[in-house]
Each structure stands twice: as C-alpha cells, then as structure tokens.
Amino acid sequence: MANRARQLHAIYLTSGSQEPEKWAHLVRDYASHSSLREAALVYARDLPRRTHHQPLLPVLLKAAASRAEHGLGRSLHAEALKSAFAGDLLVGTTLVSMYCKCGALADARRAFDETPYRNVVTHNALLAGYAAAGDMDSALVLFGGMRSWTPVTWATLIRGFAERVDMVEARRWFDATPPGMRTVVTWTVVVHGYVSAGDMEAAREVFDRMPVRNAFVWSSMVTGYFKAGDVEAAQDVFDRIPRRNLVNWNTLISGYAQIGCSEKVLQAFHLMLEERIKPDEFTMASVLSACAQLGSLEQGKKVHEFINQKHIRKNHFVTNGLIDMYAKCGDLAYAREIFDSMRWKNTECWNTMISALASHGRSEEALHLFFMMECSEQKPNVITLVAVLGACTHGGFVDEGLRIFNKFKVYGVEAGVEHYGCLIDLLGRAGKLKEAYDIVKSIPEEPNEVIWGSLLGACNVHGDAEMSRLVSDEIHRLHSARTSSNDAEYIMLSNIMAASERWEQAEQLRGKMARHGIEKTPGCSSLELGIPECQVYARSRQ
C-alpha cells in the first residue's frame, strides 16, 4: 500500500495536479502506513497552498506520536506555527498529546501554555503525560487547577498512582471519585493496579464489587492468579467469563505455558478452537512453547502445519517458537533451516539457535554462529553469553571462552554469577584449577555453593587434593556463616559432597536433613510414546 502511495505521488508531481482532495488523501495514506516523513514532506512541500491544511495536522501529529517521532513532531509544530494553526484547539491538544507520548514533558507543557483555547481534553492530555512519567506532584497540581473533570480525568490520575505501585494513593483517589465518574475503566485501573502489586486479595475485593466487567479486567485477574501460583483460582476466574474473546484465551494459554503445564496449554488450545475463536501469533507462540516443553515433535509439526494453513502471521514470536520447538524436539537441522531463512533476526532468535546448538553438543557451530551475531546488528546479551560460554565449556574451547568473557564490557553486559559459573566450569574441566580458584575469589558477589561445588568436582576429577581441601573449607565456611539454611541449600550441599565423592560428609548432611524432616523431591521426565491420535506419557521417577 505504501508503494501505491509513492506511485500516486509521482503521478501528481508529474501532472502538476492542483486537486486538494487528492493530495490530502495522499497525506493520510502515507501516514496510515507509517511513512511519516513522506507524509510530512507532502504536507509541507507539495500540498497545494490553497488547500485547507488544518484537518491534516492532527492526523500527522497522531502518527508521529504513535511512533514516538519527537523530531518529526517538532517539525510539524513549526509548520503549525507558520500556518497559524497552532492556536487551533484540536491542533493544540494534539500537539500536547504528541509531546507527552514522545516523553518530552517540557515541550508538552510549553505547547499547553501556548494554546489560547484549552478544554478538559487538553488538560487530560497533559495529565496523561505527567502520569505516564510518574510525576504525580505535577499531575495533582494540574488536576487541582481544572475547572471540570471527566471520567477519563479520574481514571488517568488513578492510573498514574497505580503504575507507580502506590496503591494507597490510587485507592484513596478511587474512593474519592464521584459515583457518576466511576466507569468500567476506573474500576479496571484499580484492579489491575492491585494485580501488578501482587495483592490478589485486594484485587479480588474490588473485582467482586464491579458493577460491569470488561474483557481486560477478567484477563488481568487470570494473569494475577497465575503469577501468584494459584492455578485453580486462575482457571475458576476464566471459567466465569461470560463471553470469552481471543485476549482471554491467550491469557489462559500463556499462563499455563509460563508455569510449565504444557498438557493444559494444548487442552485449552483445542477448547478455544471448539469455541470458534481464531488464534493469533501470540496464541501460537505459547502453543509452540508447550510442544517444546513436552518434546513432542509430532504435536509440534501439527501446530506448524496449522499455522501455515490458517495463514497466521509469522512474527518473531512465532518464528522463534518454531526454532525452539524443533530444536528441543530433536530436529536441529530443520530448526537451523528456519533460522537461516529469516531475513531479519532479533536477539531472541540468535539466542535460541545458539542455545540449541550448544545444548546438542554442537559447540563449534554455536561459536561460529555467535561470531556471526557479533557482526550483525544485534548484540549479545546476558542470555547469549551464558549459552556461548556453555558451548565453550562443553567443547573445551578455553581460549575462546576467556576471550568472550573479557569482552563483556564491549557488549555492555555485566558478568553475573551464572557467567562466572560457566567460566569456572570451563577452567575446571581443562584442569586450570588455580586460575579458576583465583577467579572465584575475585567475584564481586560472594560465590554460592554451585560455583564452589563445580570447582570441587573438577579438583577431584584432576586429583588435586590440596586444592580440593581449600575449596571444601570455603564451602563449609559459607555454610557455617549462615544462621539458617533452607531445604534447597541442604540438598545442594549434599549433592556437591556426593558428586565430589566425599561420601562421609554427604552422609552426615543426609542425616541432618532427615532429622529436620527435609526430603528431596524425585525428578520427573516425560516420554511421548508413538501413538499419534492418543498422547500417552510414561513418567519415570529418578
């Protein structure tokens, strides 16, 4: 569509068209397809002078605001001043809103003050800017100076406090809202604020009092319960939704996917299809994640086929989900084929493919891909560096691992415990125990049992009794320094001692665990049997 607009533009210029309606339509066409600079050029340079410009300025300003094009917005503001339209109420209000959405509050305030005619909508636009920036002091001053308020005014003020996680003030202003000004949006803002703050009890209290509920507030409650770990309450709220839409279903499906209930994801997806709700790319990303967690290549292929049949847009969420699914289900070649076919890859896509190669023992390929990423527009992040250091560890690429670790500042990444853990493991496996010990002692944060345990295991593998003694002393010192230990720490220490063949210490810790009533939860793995129509999972306890 944008190409069509360019063709028309060329025709109008060549023919010297002076029909204002055509040029005005061209401006709108460019703006609607995010070709904002071309739209601005037509407006400022090519639009016949006799055309009434004013109705087009708000269109362009709104488009600039949607893309946070601050520079373009200022240029349009200058055009408005030259054409004397800046004093128009609609143009002035849109200027204020544009600057607020671009995060330029000083410019927004200036435009507000320079607008000779202001109404409640103009005030609401600036109020929204202050609220979004968290400047609630300025928001309250503006609110207090308004001659009248609308439901939007109250909802905006309350949202500002809620987004700042100041639910005491948000609730105070909600309670002060005149009954006639409390719309479903006002109620929803308070509920969502409590959900974001993790206070599901307060969220439920307000939710239950709501006279009318919209789709968003239902989804907000479902999300909140999933985050709180109350799966039954999340499902119960979902089941009560009178008319479920795509957003509601996506909330349920993604909630189950995020907590690893993969079978529930697939069940919900099938129920969604039975209700004739058409899934979108966000639905499919969650469903692909479930297939990946299950290791179900058969299911994953069916989902991929469904995506193609229904012409669901393959954005980066979907494409990344496909790469992850095929890799985790064992078809690494096809995962790489999808990755290579992508015209533009974001950081998450690079991370997924590098991690997949590393986890499949293809360390050299993972490193090569990492070097390709270094040359691309996308730069490595925390996750990338964990994956590539893991690849170096399993491939024995000590020099490359050290080179990458020493370039963290170049990447703009601060090394975390997980990165140090990978480096210690790399050096430990290579027998460079003294270097590993020195690095552990230099870690800014106090090393945890996992790092010391990794080094202790390496000491035993390489038969370095002296270094083994030093590391053991550090582990005991770390454990003794703590006034209390939780179940996970006891289990971790026990595992460390057992892995390093310190059976006596491991047995002592196991006895201590038994006296405190601590039990290790058995691991659980799933295996999909070859029955395509009836999924059967054999579970084995480890």
**pTM reported for the whole predicted model:** 0.74
Residue with structure tokens 């071309």?
38
Per-residue confidence (pLDDT) for residue 447, from 0 to 100: 78
Please check the confidence at residue 148 and state whether its pLDDT lies above 70: yes
Determine the Cα–Cα distance for residues 358 and 421; give it in Å rounded to an integer: 16
Q: Are strands 524-528 and 537-541 parallel, antiparallel or unpaired?
A: antiparallel
pLDDT tens sequence across 456-500: 888 878 888 888 888 878 877 776 665 545 454 455 555 555 555
* List of E strands, 176-248: none
Name the pLDDT band for 133 (thresholds 50, 70, 90). very high
Name the pLDDT band for 295 (thresholds 50, 70, 90). very high
127-136, 294-303, 311-320, 477-486, range with the lowest pLDDT? 477-486
Name the pLDDT band for 517 (thresholds 50, 70, 90). low
Name the pLDDT band for 132 (thresholds 50, 70, 90). very high
Could you tell me if 109 and 141 are in contact, meaning their C-beta atoms sit under 8 angstroms apart? no
Name the pLDDT band for 7 (thresholds 50, 70, 90). very low
Could you tell me if 217 and 188 are in contact, meaning their C-beta atoms sit under 8 angstroms apart? yes
pLDDT tens sequence across 220-237: 999 999 999 999 999 999
pLDDT tens sequence across 245-273: 999 999 999 999 999 999 999 999 999 99
Per-residue confidence (pLDDT) for residue 505, from 0 to 100: 58
Q: Is 450 exposed, middle or buried (0-12, 13-18, 19+ CB in 10 A)?
A: middle
Rounded mean pLDDT, 309-328: 94
Please check the confidence at residue 173 and state whether its pLDDT lies above 70: yes
What rounded mean pLDDT belongs to the chain?
Answer: 82
CA angle at residue 527 from 525 to 530, to 5 degrees?
Answer: 175
Per-residue confidence (pLDDT) for residue 40, from 0 to 100: 56
Q: Where are the alpha helices (DSSP H) in 83-150?
A: 89-101, 105-114, 120-133, 136-144
Per-residue confidence (pLDDT) for residue 441, from 0 to 100: 86
pLDDT tens sequence across 277-291: 999 999 999 999 999
What's the DSSP call for residue 180? G
Type and span of the H or E element at 526: strand 524-528
Could you tell me if 165 and 137 are in contact, meaning their C-beta atoms sit under 8 angstroms apart? no
Please check the confidence at residue 178 and state whether its pLDDT lies above 80: yes
Phi, psi (rounded to 5 degrees) for 197: -80, -5
